[in-house]
């Protein structure tokens, strides 16, 4: 009986007794089971590694949120401050460390007409000069940042490593040589870079030159939407248009008979109509609201074009209702598709399986 031994690779080589023939076989001889165990362990290890990479990416995709949930436009960071933008939430803009944000100032505003800005923040920032404006000339000369100090009730300006302060911003910009610009181009809120803030605060409203800028909104809920859109014709009041018609018909008839009888008198004769937000307007079926109509107010008109709570131009919602629900434009959709890490995870699993197959077949017994 010819002897047996192990060789690597493929081919035939005389071994043992003269004239013996080499035959490549598979079997448990001389450690074959050991290689199978190692191959199984390699496959299991790579599978665990691959799914460990895939799992967090899948979970992240399911929980990813809208970076601008309230769809508030007009606020920005300068190009050299991209890493300082605050986080936008339904409650407002969240500031920490060196975060700040800007908004373009009204056209033609100068330091002579400048009022101290204000804001609503919770909790209170640990820097009293949280509100600021930027001045610069048309040729980009005379740039400076003026910060209003709530504690001293003065405007502060740092330039050339020196701090200047004055209650009158128009005089403050003249304290340097050459003087700084008097053209106010931007305003905003946020922490200074040095030192940085240590309190994480949420700003919900910024006030400037007699105007309020809301940085938050009411978080939409899906439950009321499903109920209201699911039973539009089952309302006890009758047809879907019956309730709105009764609501608007009663106050219209009374003022028109006692006042001037014009549409403008009707609109001004319903002071009790108030909507907390656009979600309430949509739910009442009154969107869009035009200036002069009951319930219209500047706080609902973001772009101040005289039309509040405008209807989106997108296609109707999934329920077929052309009027947006309270969730409307703020609805968050799950992120789908394979990310780079997911692809890498699958690649690791595939590579591991290939290595295991190679490891299992690279050694074979001979006879």
Helix (H, G, I), strand (E, B) or coil at 39: helix
Task: Tally Cβ neighbours within 10 Å of residue 354.
Answer: 11
Within its chain, how far is the Cα of 19 from the centroid? Answer: 79
Q: Are 360 and 36 in contact (CB under 8 A)?
A: yes
Which tens digits make up the pLDDT trace of 111-143?
999 998 899 999 999 999 999 999 999 999 999
Flag whether pLDDT at 275 surpasses 50.
Answer: yes
- How high is the pLDDT of residue 136? 96
DSSP 264-308: HHHHHT-TT---SSHHHHHHHT-PSEETTSTT--GGG-TT-SSEE
Which tens digits make up the pLDDT trace of 19-46?
444 444 444 444 556 656 666 676 677 6
Percent helix / strand / coil, the chain, rounded to 5? 30, 20, 50
- Evaluate if pTM is beyond 0.85: no
Residue 349 or 79, more confident: 79
Which tens digits make up the pLDDT trace of 165-197?
999 999 999 999 999 999 999 999 999 999 999
- Tell me the sheet residues that pair with 7: 364
User: At which residue do the structure tokens 């081919």 appear?
Assistant: 11
Backbone angles phi, psi at 347, to 5 degrees: -65, -40
């Amino acid at each position: 009986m010819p002897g047996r031994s192990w060789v690597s690779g493929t081919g035939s080589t005389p071994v043992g007794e003269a004239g013996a023939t080499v035959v490549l076989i598979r079997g448990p001889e001389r450690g074959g089971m050991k290689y199978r165990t190692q191959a199984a362990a390699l496959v299991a290890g790579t599978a665990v590694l691959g799914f460990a990479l895939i799992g967090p990416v899948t979970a992240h995709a399911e929980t990813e949120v809208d970076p601008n949930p309230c769809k508030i436009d007009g606020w920005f960071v300068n190009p050299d401050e991209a890493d300082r933008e605050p986080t936008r939430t339904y409650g407002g803009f969240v500031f920490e460390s060196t975060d700040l944000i800007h908004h373009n100032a009204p056209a033609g505003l100068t330091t002579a007409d400048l009022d101290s800005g204000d804001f609503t923040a919770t909790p209170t920032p640990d820097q009293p000069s949280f509100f600021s404006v930027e001045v610069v000339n048309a040729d980009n000369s005379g740039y400076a940042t003026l910060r209003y100090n709530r504690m001293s009730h003065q405007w502060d300006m740092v330039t050339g490593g020196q701090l200047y302060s004055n209650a009158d911003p128009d005089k403050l910009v003249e304290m340097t040589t050459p003087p700084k610009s008097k053209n106010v181009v931007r305003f905003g809120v946020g922490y200074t870079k040095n030192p940085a803030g240590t309190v994480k605060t949420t700003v919900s409203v910024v006030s400037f030159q007699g105007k309020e800028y809301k940085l938050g909104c009411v978080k939409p809920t899906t439950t009321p939407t499903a109920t209201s859109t699911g039973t539009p014709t089952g309302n006890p009041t009758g047809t879907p248009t019956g309730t709105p018609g009764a609501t608007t018909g009663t106050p219209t008839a009374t003022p028109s008979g006692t006042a001037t009888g014009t549409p403008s008198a009707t609109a001004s004769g319903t002071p009790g109509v108030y909507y907390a937000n656009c979600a309430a307007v949509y739910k009442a079926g009154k969107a869009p609201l035009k200036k002069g109509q009951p319930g219209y107010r500047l706080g609902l008109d973001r772009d101040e074009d005289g039309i509040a709570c405008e209807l989106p131009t997108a296609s109707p919602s999934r329920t077929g209702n052309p009027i947006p629900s309270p969730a409307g434009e703020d609805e968050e959709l799950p992120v789908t598709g394979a990310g780079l890490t997911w692809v890498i995870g699958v690649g690791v699993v595939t590579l591991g399986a290939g290595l295991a197959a190679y490891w299992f077949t690279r050694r074979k017994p001979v006879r």
